[in-house]
Chain A
Amino acid sequence: MNTLFQLAALFDAVTEIEGRKKLQKTVHILQEFGVSFGVGFGYHHYGPFSEQLQDCLQIAQHDLLIMETEVPGQPPTFRFKADKRLIGLWKILGDGSPPKWAEFANELNRKSPRDLETISTLVYLEKLRGIGTSTNQIDEEFKSLKPHLFDRLEPARKNLIEFRQKYSPVELGILQVA
């Protein structure tokens, strides 16, 4: 329930998302910032990936709550859009307004899939290796996993610092100020 409900909130915020990878990475980054989708992530070929999220997406697609449509082009792209029933779920069960993290979700959604993959992988490695791990160690590990994205690592790190300053748990509505 929690995952479907949060997906409803996400689609209420961003309207549409292009590609499954982008959706996976967006949810991963949001969750690492404290927006719980109730799913676990493991590391896969294209970075952090959640089987539970994929399962929930399949359920939503099976029930026609989320639709995937082809956008013609070379190559074609594919968009996920939520049916009004899914958005309705958020409207009914939420407080009626967009989630507090809508701006953050939109900022992520404006990034390319590769930039999101870089940020998501960086967040994943930082968490996996823990506090005290040097930047060099993370860089080395990132390079061995994703040499083709290494030139995007520094910009991704800057993005991440900005996000952490801009989207605190209070800002995202996760922590309430007394």
Chain B
Amino acid sequence: MSAPPYYNRGRVFRDPVHGLIPINNKDGFLTELIDTPEFQRLHRVRQLGVASLTFPGTDHSRFCHSLGVLHIACRILELLRSRYPDSVVSNQIDSHNQSIKAAALLHDIGHGPFSHLMERAFDVGKDHEERTKTMISHPTGGIYRVLNSAGIDPKKAAEVIDHKFQFLFLQDIVSSQLDADRMDYLIRDSHFAGVNYGVFDLEWILNSLCVGSYADHDGDPHLWRLCLDNKRGLQAAEQLILARQHMSLQVYYHKSTRRWEAVFLCLIREAERLALQDDLPDQTPELVKTYLKDKGRVNHDQFLRMDEALMVHAFSIWRDAPATKHRWLANLASGFLDRKKVLIRVEMPEDIPADKEAILRERLKTELKEHGNSHWELDAGEFTPYKGPNPTTKKTDKEGYTDSVLANSILLSNGKTNEQATPVAEVSKIFQTLIDHRFRLRRLYCDASLKNEIDKIVKDTLTSSQLDLPLTP
């Protein structure tokens, strides 16, 4: 006998940002996805890596962020459906909403321990997206099984993550400058950091969403984009982008956090060096050794066990390693776990240009070769608050401009899919300013014993004419 309707309401999560996050029984596959080991692992991967060493409240996990993204994505789908009843938009939503919801929920499952920080350690770019796609498509994995039995093609969900989904306005919900991911992480990170910089008018943005188009496409719905209403969305969009800029400057690129990240990166590099020589302390978990040797490219089952709990366990073993050959490893682990200063900052301008940065990096690698790469970290921090096409490009390169707009611009539309939308930077002075502005936060941290040597390299590099530098073989 089936349960009475009252008891058949699905599941509800309490969330400090969104209040209640309900998952209706008609979307029962989402509950099943949440219960897979792949998704449960996100409880043990923090959203902001080591930021809690600076902002003690930021211990929140990728698990709660992913639920938040799902929640916002579901709200966007419902809003668009009600805004465009009996239309191509609502038909496409009905056909694809499960793939979009699955992608929203699963978009971060491929993150390694300490999130983006581990990608920097292994210099592998957006590796978590590749891993996420692989995990969704892994034929013996839990995600694949759940999606398949719910009649959802795992490939479609993976295409959304991979920015290759056939309908851009649906993909935009999960991956764009107006996506549910950004909307959740800004508010959530702000909340847990105890700052107000990431707050923006979420409700008004959601209320302003519509569908529009850019470029000539004969009404092709594949090229429709998620837009903001041109009469009411502009200020909300400006607020969102400023929130991102302020969060980046105040939290994500905070100088103390970046220093702890530098310690972490040096620790991982030192451990990787030792792992490649089979010289890590004996008690180090085998999986950690494999993970380091293979630069994170472990198999599916191994990855499910790779989380921050295991890494911190390894760090505590390394901290107590008595051997001379482990001295630097132990110093770094102790510095990281006990929050002790093991790297110092080298004075240099934060805005050195890209070519000088490249040369400085090569000189440090070459001239400090005997010390390896675990005694210094050149943090090439750089971000632009809004990645968009500059309207001046339109005159010089129409095709390039169009591609840029379709790739990433926030668009303002009157909500009619057969009329052309406007890139936000064409009408907003704030966006025009932000497009041109790059924040450069290059910082160099090093082992105190190398400071004099590194000071000299920095000074030489920054004051010399580039072509005179002693690097040509």
Give chain A's interface residues, CB within 8 Å of chain B: 1, 4-5, 19-21, 24, 38, 40, 42-46, 49, 51, 54-55, 58-60, 62-63, 65, 68, 70, 76, 78, 84-86, 88-89, 91-93, 95-96, 113, 128
A43 CA to B424 CA, complexed, in Å: 22
Enumerate 19 A-B pairs (CB-CB under 8 Å) in ascending A order: A4-B355, A19-B397, A42-B164, A43-B164, A44-B403, A45-B402, A46-B400, A51-B407, A51-B408, A59-B354, A65-B353, A68-B396, A70-B396, A78-B397, A85-B466, A86-B355, A89-B358, A92-B362, A92-B467
B466 in contact with A92 (CB, 8 Å): yes
Complex contacts, B107 vs chain A, CB 8 Å: none
Closest Cβ neighbor of B401 among chain A residues: A20
Closest Cβ neighbor of A69 among chain B residues: B396
Closest Cβ neighbor of B402 among chain A residues: A45
B354 in contact with A45 (CB, 8 Å): no
A127 CA to B153 CA, complexed, in Å: 20
B397 in contact with A60 (CB, 8 Å): no
Chain B window 346-360, contacts with chain A (Cβ cutoff 8 Å), 1 for yes, 0 for no: 000000011101110
- The number of chain B residues with a CB under 8 A from chain A is 37
A49 in contact with B403 (CB, 8 Å): yes
Complex contacts, A62 vs chain B, CB 8 Å: 438
Complex contacts, A68 vs chain B, CB 8 Å: 396
A84 CA to B469 CA, complexed, in Å: 14
A20 in contact with B399 (CB, 8 Å): yes
Q: A42-B407, A89-B466 are in contact. Are A65 and B402 (CB under 8 A)?
A: no
Complex contacts, A1 vs chain B, CB 8 Å: 357-358, 361, 380
Q: 15 extra interchain contacts, Cβ-Cβ under 8 A, other than A20-B400, A89-B359, A91-B467?
A: A19-B397, A20-B393, A21-B403, A44-B403, A45-B215, A45-B399, A45-B406, A55-B387, A62-B438, A63-B355, A76-B396, A78-B396, A92-B469, A93-B358, A113-B399
Q: Which of B126, B382, B399 contacts A46 (CB 8 A)?
A: B399
A91 in contact with B396 (CB, 8 Å): no
CB distance from A78 to the nearest CB of B (A): 5
Interface residues of chain B: helix, strand, loop or mixed (majority): helix
Q: Which of A4, A20, A44 contacts B358 (CB 8 A)?
A: A4
A67 CA to B355 CA, complexed, in Å: 15
Complex contacts, B469 vs chain A, CB 8 Å: 92
A46 CA to B354 CA, complexed, in Å: 29
B150-165 contacts to A, CB under 8 A, are 163-164
B400 in contact with A24 (CB, 8 Å): yes
Chain B window 376-412, contacts with chain A (Cβ cutoff 8 Å), 1 for yes, 0 for no: 0000101010010000010011011011101110000
Interface residues of chain A: helix, strand, loop or mixed (majority): helix
B407 in contact with A92 (CB, 8 Å): no
Complex contacts, A70 vs chain B, CB 8 Å: 396
Complex contacts, B361 vs chain A, CB 8 Å: 1
The answer to the question of B473 belonging to the interface, with a C-beta cut-off of 8 Å to chain A, is: yes
Q: A42-B163, A51-B408, A63-B353 are in contact. Are A92 and B359 (CB under 8 A)?
A: yes
A122 CA to B223 CA, complexed, in Å: 20
The answer to the question of B125 belonging to the interface, with a C-beta cut-off of 8 Å to chain A, is: yes
Closest Cβ neighbor of A68 among chain B residues: B396
B403 in contact with A95 (CB, 8 Å): no
Complex contacts, A84 vs chain B, CB 8 Å: 467
A58 CA to B358 CA, complexed, in Å: 16
A24 CA to B402 CA, complexed, in Å: 13
Closest Cβ neighbor of B352 among chain A residues: A63
B396 in contact with A4 (CB, 8 Å): no
Chain B window 305-340, contacts with chain A (Cβ cutoff 8 Å), 1 for yes, 0 for no: 000000000000000000000000000000000000
Q: A4-B355, A46-B402 are in contact. Are A88 and B467 (CB under 8 A)?
A: yes
**Residue of A51, A58, A84, A86 ringed by the most chain B CB atoms within 10 A:** A58
A93 in contact with B359 (CB, 8 Å): yes
A65 in contact with B223 (CB, 8 Å): no
B472 in contact with A92 (CB, 8 Å): yes
Complex contacts, A89 vs chain B, CB 8 Å: 355, 358-359, 466
The answer to the question of B471 belonging to the interface, with a C-beta cut-off of 8 Å to chain A, is: yes
CB distance from A127 to the nearest CB of B (A): 12
A93 CA to B473 CA, complexed, in Å: 9
Closest Cβ neighbor of A54 among chain B residues: B404
A43 CA to B400 CA, complexed, in Å: 13
B362 in contact with A93 (CB, 8 Å): yes
By Cβ-Cβ distance, the 7 closest A-B pairs, closest first, are A20-B400, A63-B353, A44-B403, A78-B396, A49-B403, A20-B397, A21-B399
Closest Cβ neighbor of B389 among chain A residues: A54
B406 in contact with A21 (CB, 8 Å): no
Complex contacts, A51 vs chain B, CB 8 Å: 387, 407-408
Q: A4-B354, A92-B469 are in contact. Are A46 and B403 (CB under 8 A)?
A: yes
Closest Cβ neighbor of B168 among chain A residues: A44
B473 in contact with A95 (CB, 8 Å): yes
Q: Which of A5, A19, A60, A93 contacts B400 (CB 8 A)?
A: A19
A52 CA to B359 CA, complexed, in Å: 21
**Residue of B215, B384, B399, B466 ringed by the most chain A CB atoms within 10 A:** B399
